[in-house]
Structure 1
Amino acid sequence: LGVQSIYDDVLKINRRGHDVQKTIDATKLLKDSGFKINYHMMPGLPGSDVKRDFAMFKELFSNPDFQPDMLKIYPTVVVKNSALYNFWKKGRYVPLNDQAFEKLILKIKNEAIPPYVRIARLVRDVPVTSILAGPTLSNLRQMIAHRSNCPCIRCREVGASYKIKEKIILDRIDYEASGGKEIFLQYVSPDKSKLFALLRLRIPEEENHPILALRNATIIREIHTYGKLAEIDKKNNTSPQHIGLGKKLMQEAERIAKKEFGYDKIVVISGIGVRNYYRKLGYKLKDTYMVKSI
């Protein structure tokens, strides 16, 4: 979702064509339908400043109306042949510089981001020659890595660093979001610095969903196992991809839905290519979702 800002005055100044309530409504609609939410956010917009931008990221994860699952953070830059270019030329707009943006992002990563969020991208890959004013640090993530204590998913993904005898524990985070309850399950190292697998389970506010498959059901919005890819149906002791973490997360989500919340139906939003995986776990296709009675 191209949110960019959660301040109505900033959205109006920048002619976004929507207000904050539209973002709130879209977020709830998508979550209740099982989708993952990726917010595009743009610090440095006209009408905002560094202090407001940091407060904005804090509110994203303290206000239940927002709570995106992922972020793409693109700073405002000035390019030729844009309305912003004319503002800048007339001295009516001063963008963030590299130093201010770097300091802001480091503060956001260290102080505003919870562990159930993935910062998918920092900085849009715009050619430096096209940027007339504004941040130009295209490799900012790498530049600040040694100074960042960011707990986001991307910073903890295990990748190729998995060790066969490494201890893995199940961790759970519950939080309110868009009128419902979100349960974030993750398999992590004991200090939670390495993330091996995750699952997002939603307990919706309303049970009478317009999509028949989603009525009176809990929803698995995402399940993901990290590590090196292994061939399908083949064991690989050097990767957490095929040691059953996904299946265990599914079983735990089903247990929570039934035992803790009294549901007898659970739904997964699934791509076509992985439907057979869910079929093996007892799920059946209905209205493009995979559905199971529990």
Structure 2
Amino acid sequence: MTDSIHNEHGHSHHGEAPKKSKYEEALDKYNLDIDDNAVKEEVKKLIAEKVHENDTPEVKRFLMGSIELTTLKTTDSEESVLAFTERVNQFDDAYPDLPHVATICVYPCFAETVSQALEVDGVEIACVSGSFPSSQTFPEVKVAETALAIKDGATEIDIVMPVGKFLSGDYEGVSDEIGELKAVCGDKKMKVILETGCLKTAANIKRASLLAMYAGADYIKTSTGKLEPAATPEAAYVMCQAIREYYEETGIQIGFKPAGGINSVMDALIYYTIVKELLGEKWLTNQWFRLGTSRLANMLLSEIVGQETKFF
């Protein structure tokens, strides 16, 4: 009897566990005992059995409309970003019967350039923020960068979860930082990049997914694309499981964005299949499913029109 009384007050006598934080209590609602090999096997089976049925012109057109056309190079300049944006404007004229990309994704200092040049309705302007790709700077700097990006026209913000804090078990620090940046974003959508290649295990990926969603993420995203390995089908599978369970628990729908290492149309079809099988039709819109890539746009376009096309 005394044990439970002590626990209620958060004392830890006789080596009892201290009172759980709200983050740990939230995580307790989910199964985090996931075996990496089991995930591998499930993904292998899913790919073998289901991907071929999604290899259709309709799905490829859909994927075209889910692309976040991304340029995040050290060499980006106002001129290059302007030309990049112009391609999106011209695409609308050149292929009026195809869906335009979902988003143009750039560094925050180019938000204004894109926002002034973009003429296509319904294309979002995403900026990577919060000291992308390392997330290693002062919280004040992350807040300022995010606020400036939004002021300059960003309609979506992609931040990187503080991975070092996560790996050292500081879930409160991770969640507070994500929450603070979501407060800056307000009604603008915020994607949280987990950098799954650094998280190593399926259990870590699931835990990070849940923390990010509870802290205010509107989307969870696999990777920055700056580290190897980037997106993998296994990471996507675990993240989509987490999104589904979170939705069942809270009723809140969270979007999914694989990014980094999406090198072929087949890669994109695999991610589409994972979303379709784990999350269902409700997620198969370019509102809830995005692909962070640039090279995929020309590949998809080539397959859709039936000849090698280098438009972007």
TM-score normalised per structure 1: 0.33
Name the one with the larger strand percent.
1
Greater relative contact order, per chain length (Cα 8 Å cut-off, separation 6+): 2
Name the one with the larger helix percent.
2
